[in-house]
Amino acid sequence: MGGPSTMRARRAARLALGLLALCGALVAIVVLSLATGARAIPIEAVWAALTAFDPTSSEHRIIWDLRLPRTVTGVMVGAALGLAGAVLQGATRNPLADPSILGIHAGASLAVVLGVALLGMTQLTSYVWLAFTGAGAAMLVVYSVASLGRDGATPVKLALAGAAITAVLHAIINAMLLTSPRTLDEVRFWQVGSLSGRTLDIVIQVAPFLALGTVLALGSARLLDGLSLGDDVARSLGQRIGLSRGLAALAAVILAGASTAAAGPIAFVGLTVPHVARAITGPGYRWILPYSMLLAPILLLGADIVGRIIAPPGEVQVGIVTAFLGAPFFIALVRRRKLAAL
């Protein structure tokens, strides 16, 4: 039998092996995503397209022009949503927190809809700054509303404020879409959350922001560990609560804003994945964050593949599939928390 240090070393080795296994699973689902669609492409042809591109081959053109940008977007957006959800849950100490529940997705969506309706923006590459502006403004409003009162921005007040602001923003979005058929036509597929039709230009546009948000999120692991213990304990450890929450919120806004600009508001990925990661790793954010970053794109690409094969020759957008997968999980989580509180 070993001492505590030996047990910690074994646990770290086990979790590191888990990360390697998830990397392998992600590679496998990336290959499956490249091979799956209205026209099935053999794995051998996928490998040939990636290693020896032939511009005269229709299969190679499909891989490079359509499926590779879509798959890369799915990996980036999934990783961003998983990290954003984990960061928000740690910073707010709220197990129900994610970008869609705290108003970040709704704020980004409203900004994009306003840009299309009022400024005539129709290119996905122009959505990035609009989404950032809306996401940041919504997060600021939610936090300001939750901060009112004696106890400040408690986890419960943040969830209630986020739900209220999200409802208001969605009402405004729906009113604008109903009164502007042109705007509805421009954003209808983006609004439900979609990876189809994405190009490498979109990947290049959002990649720097996602990289910055990823660095900030992964670097906040120690801060999130302190916040998860409660404000009083975090202060006793010398942590500056306001600064820590501000850095976490900045990382979440960057990640959620960029991912929303690229693929639209995809719900439930940021909510469900951190819980799965926490069940595997335990409470430490040093492991929760990288596990969330790998599990989320596996889930998102898996949902995208399902959407491509359940309604041939068309497809179901990935935001609809994740909603069907995530809603039962959300209901079960709420019921479990309610029973635990009794």
Residues 229-278: tens digit of each pLDDT: 777 777 777 778 778 888 888 898 899 988 988 888 888 899 889 999 99
CA separation for the pair 24, 129 (Å, rounded): 34
- 289-331, pLDDT tens digit by residue? 999 999 999 999 999 999 988 877 778 888 889 888 877 776 7
Q: How far are the Cα atoms of 104, 174, 254 from residue 114, in angstroms, in the given order?
A: 16, 12, 20
230-242 in b/e form (b: 16+ CB < 10 A) is: ebeebeeeebebe
Of the pLDDT bands very low, low, confident and very high (cuts 50, 70, 90), residue 147 is confident
CA 136, 184, 315, 54 dihedral sign is negative
Domains and CATH numbers, the chain: 29-341 (1.10.3470.10)
Q: Is the pLDDT of residue 49 over 50?
A: yes
- 209-218, pLDDT tens digit by residue? 999 999 999 9
Q: Give residue 335's pLDDT.
A: 66
CA separation for the pair 278, 109 (Å, rounded): 29
Q: Give residue 261's pLDDT.
A: 85
What does pLDDT average to over the chain? 85
CA separation for the pair 104, 89 (Å, rounded): 14
| Contacts of 94 by beta carbon, 8 Å cutoff, 6+ apart | 88, 155, 156, 158, 159
Of the pLDDT bands very low, low, confident and very high (cuts 50, 70, 90), residue 124 is low
Q: Is the pLDDT of residue 143 over 90?
A: no
DSSP string, 216-284: HHHHTHHHHHHHHT-HHHHHHTT--HHHHHHHHHHHHHHHHHHHHHHH----SHHHHHHHHHHHHH-S-
Lowest mean pLDDT across 94-98, 193-197, 230-234, 286-290: 230-234
Kindly report whether the global pTM for this prediction surpasses the value 0.85.
yes
337 versus 109: the higher-pLDDT residue is 109
**Cis preceding-peptide flag for 313 (omega within 30 of 0):** yes
Of the ranges 127-141, 173-187, 203-217, the best mean pLDDT one: 203-217
Of the pLDDT bands very low, low, confident and very high (cuts 50, 70, 90), residue 24 is very high
Q: Is the pLDDT of residue 203 over 70?
A: yes
